[in-house]
Structure 1
Amino acid sequence: MIHTQKRILGFWRCWALVVGGAIGSAIFMMPALLVTYGGLGLISWAAAAVGALFIAMMLGNLSRRVTNAGGPYAYARAGFGDFAGFLIAWGFWIALWTACVAITIAFTGYLGALIPAIAASPLLTIIAGLALIWLFVGVNIAGVRESGIVGLVTTVLKLIPLVIIGTIGLLFVNTETLPPMNPGTANSAYLFASAFALTFWTFVGIEAVTVPAENVIDPDKTIPRALIIGTLTIAVVYLLVAFAVMGMIPADQLMASSAPLADAGVRIAGRWGGTVVSVGALVSMIGAFNITLLAAGQTAMAAARDGVFPLIFQRMTKRDTPGASFVIIGILASMMLVMNQTKGLVGAYTFILLISTLTVVIPYAFSAMAGLLLGIHDDKISAARKKREAFVSIVAFAICMWVIASSGEEAVYWTFLLLMAGVPVYVIVTRNARLSARMTK
């Protein structure tokens, strides 16, 4: 049975998917990580924002041509066929549901800071994490409308403490506190490249709006607008917050801080300021979790519907949501969360986080080349527009290659193995599809 999904996501909910998908837990820790790079860290963040804008424009161009659900998966499949589409869907799906686990762990950490009993009990920590996972599995099964409303509300709420720090916090900036351009003796170009790869991660998630494309009202206009305006919103918030925090807290204190934005909130408004920021961090993580889960479920559903993922992922509920897909993700995320409590697996889990950037950037790269290929063969647009879109795709691809090169040989090696691990799944699925086709003849 073919399901036609309802178009219920307008511009503001799509904008919330872009902003909420990217702004998660990273912004609440990045100033502490970036201060070691000095002023070059801020410059690299601005450069990463420009790079993310090209990615947004590239995805926006593709969304006008490929209106199916699935985002980068759908784009890669349209440009290069089923197998390429499967590899991208596989890597993208893994990156998304493992990101859900990472956000859950960060959430329980911040929750423990507000409720010491949770921090003191591993059992309560696990229960809190499982509650978050299954609460939003339920929300997403309930419907995209409900998930979109949650995304919009949490996005607005999470921006409040960030905007306060990024605006009022500027009044507390001491220029002498700002770190030097290059705080050490390392090569400036090397520092810039390393910081670029680090800060680019903070923009990963903007593609979330392209995944539920079949639920978007007037997607060929709404999605590109939401991508560009949402990415600009993220960039402005990030840079203002980073500048304010680095100008308020001395570098040595910032490097040692486990909650740099909460510390900045304390400097602005005392203990209550720190509490407000901590609550804002929790809201931010809730919003990011909801959007990441939505993208993971929709990606698997789209791939299954196209015959490159197991068919169970396309089972729809009465509310036109891929319920089985969300339940499977909930089970996997729950298992990984519980396993992460075992000390022996902490190192392995940490490494998964290190390669998660690559598992998302590779779909970006495939999307960029798919955009170039589809644009060249599109006879419905002018030659001038073809050139503009080709330029955007080439620059977006170059940015992806730079991020991959800056990630290190080991991360690239293990990411390749992770993608190849999905090949047997593709073989089994396609074999079953062929057998089914023969039986129906």
Structure 2
Amino acid sequence: MGIALVMGNMIGSGVFLLPASLAPFGWSGVAGWAITIAGALALAFVIARLTVAFPAASGPTGFVELAFGRVPSFMIGWAYWVSVWTANVTLAVASVSFLSLFMPALRDHMAISTIALIWLVTAINWRGARAAGRFQVATLLIKLIPLLTVVILIPIAFGRGEPVTITPFPTEGLSFTAVSGSAILTLWALLGFESASVAADKVKNPTVTIPRATIVGTLATGILYLIVCSAIALMLPAAAVATSEAPFSLFVETYWGHGPAVWIAAFAAVSALGALNGWTLIQAEQPARLAEQGLLPAWFARTNRHGTPAAALLLSSMIATACVLLNSSKSTSEMFTFMAVLSTSVTLWLYLACAAAALRLHVAMAVAMIGLAYAVWTLWGAGIGVSAMSLILMVAGLPLYAWTRMSAPARREKAPIA
């Protein structure tokens, strides 16, 4: 279940749309994938080692508190929580968009359908981490089908009598600018490798299970992405992939047939739904961890009889619902792009903070240096506007932190009376 949580949260909607964005980069896109996978593995290794070294820290924000104190921990944790429910809106929109190919009425009621999907998955998570974990395993097995289909079709394509035209390697070599641009695009599809550590208190034997789940899940997902996305970008005409709304379906239709290609949209919908389920678990666990650290009001950590932080779960889903309503006037693609950019930029600060915390705490320092360099480079590549938006989000939560700290003594004084 730990591996399913990591892989399920990483394999969402992005990978099914990403080949279209990467097609113009050609071989530079392949290099971009390699750099992103290496950077993600470095950061995943750092988080895994921090989990082993400080198992009582309860995840990334705990590591940041140990290294830099309570205020930086709150700012990173608060921003990460924001990124989770914005990602959930993105995933719900993508899932409904894919399903609308089979049920066109959903597209006419996009906001209502998206909200309904958010609350359906909220109901699953209300039943506890084990129920969410079972659903995660089931959806992961389904969402791997289109990825493995592409992997299987690659040798079949080369074994046919008709020659396969491969995009030629550029005679002038790879462009650093193009590689940087493609690497930034690939990061959205690899977000989520920290998921197991965020849910540390729901995992048996976390010092062993979480590092294994984190590294195995990140490596397996990275290899799949590298093979599949590179094949689609290099084995099809770049212009056709770049203008395609369903590049996976285009590949399957080219090397298999129209019938199987149609079902790719259904698998993509399940993929987004599975990721939505995993991130809904995180959107409840993250504020609960902050509450346990005394960084948010204590009621965020209160659980129902299934062990779910019920108040945090419901509040997060209500905020996600509000995001859908506030952006209902935007087109599907506009809503998806806005939420994806916001979620990616904010999560980058979490990765940067974990790498810096490892250096401060003298954990896996050589790898932490690589992870820190990668996080800084990607944040720089994301643009100054996006980075500024992320910082504003962090600062916006400080009044709540101040209120929590001021009311904490009052709660401690009243505790004996209660």
TM-score, normalised on structure 1?
A: 0.88
Indicate yes or no: 2:210 matched with 1:223.
Answer: yes
Specify whether residues 85 and 169 from structure 1 end up closer, same or farther in structure 2 by C-alpha distance, changes over 3 A only: same
Indicate yes or no: 2:12 matched with 1:24.
Answer: yes
Q: CA deviation at 1:114?
A: 1.8
Task: Give SS of 2:275's match.
Answer: helix
Cross-structure match for 2:29:
41
Give the whole-Å Cα distance in 2 for the aligned partners of 1:344 and 1:128: 14
Q: CA deviation at 1:96?
A: 0.4
Amino acid at match of 2:100: G
> Where does structure 1 differ by over 3 angstroms across 4 or more consecutive aligned residues?
173-183, 343-352, 437-441
Task: Give SS of 2:101's match.
Answer: helix
Give the whole-Å Cα distance in 2 for the aligned partners of 1:138 and 1:435: 34
* Residues 93 and 332 in structure 2, CA contact (< 8 A), matched pair in contact too: no
1:182-331 alignment, distance < 5 Å: 188-331=175-318
Specify whether residues 346 and 191 from structure 1 end up closer, same or farther in structure 2 by C-alpha distance, changes over 3 A only: closer
* Residues 40 and 181 in structure 1, CA contact (< 8 A), matched pair in contact too: no
Q: CA deviation at 1:39?
A: 0.7
Task: Give SS of 2:321's match.
Answer: helix
CA deviation profile, 1:319-359 (whole Å, cap 9, x unmatched):
11101111111111111112222149986874443232221
CA deviation profile, 1:99-143 (whole Å, cap 9, x unmatched):
000011111111111222222x2x2x2332122111111111101
Cross-structure match for 1:3:
none
1:138-157 alignment, distance < 5 Å: 138-157=123-142
Q: Percent identity?
A: 30
Amino acid at match of 1:316: T
Cross-structure match for 1:133:
118
Task: Give SS of 2:55's match.
Answer: coil
Q: CA deviation at 1:36?
A: 1.1
Amino acid at match of 2:149: I
* Residues 86 and 342 in structure 2, CA contact (< 8 A), matched pair in contact too: no
Task: Give SS of 1:220's match.
Answer: helix
Give the whole-Å Cα distance in 1 for the aligned partners of 2:93 and 2:169: 33
* Residues 361 and 404 in structure 1, CA contact (< 8 A), matched pair in contact too: yes
Amino acid at match of 1:401: V
* Residues 352 and 372 in structure 2, CA contact (< 8 A), matched pair in contact too: yes
Amino acid at match of 1:433: A
CA deviation profile, 1:284-341 (whole Å, cap 9, x unmatched):
1111101111111100111012211123311210111101111111111111112222
Q: CA deviation at 1:193?
A: 1.1
Indicate yes or no: 2:375 matched with 1:390.
Answer: no
Specify whether residues 276 and 255 from structure 1 end up closer, same or farther in structure 2 by C-alpha distance, changes over 3 A only: same
Specify whether residues 69 and 265 from structure 1 end up closer, same or farther in structure 2 by C-alpha distance, changes over 3 A only: farther
* Residues 188 and 340 in structure 2, CA contact (< 8 A), matched pair in contact too: no
Cross-structure match for 1:59:
47
Q: CA deviation at 1:191?
A: 1.0
Q: CA deviation at 1:181?
A: 4.2
Specify whether residues 74 and 42 from structure 1 end up closer, same or farther in structure 2 by C-alpha distance, changes over 3 A only: same
Give the whole-Å Cα distance in 1 for the aligned partners of 2:50 and 2:305: 30
Q: CA RMSD in A?
A: 2.3
Cross-structure match for 1:80:
68
Amino acid at match of 1:158: K
Moved more, 278-287 or 74-83: 74-83
* Residues 16 and 151 in structure 1, CA contact (< 8 A), matched pair in contact too: yes
* Residues 52 and 208 in structure 2, CA contact (< 8 A), matched pair in contact too: yes
Specify whether residues 166 and 430 from structure 1 end up closer, same or farther in structure 2 by C-alpha distance, changes over 3 A only: same
Moved more, 92-101 or 360-369: 360-369
Indicate yes or no: 2:414 matched with 1:414.
Answer: no
1:152-191 alignment, distance < 5 Å: 152-172=137-157, 177-181=165-169, 188-191=175-178
* Unpaired segments ≥5 residues, structure 2: none
Give the whole-Å Cα distance in 1 for the aligned partners of 2:32 and 2:266: 29
Task: Give SS of 1:114's match.
Answer: coil
Cross-structure match for 1:433:
408
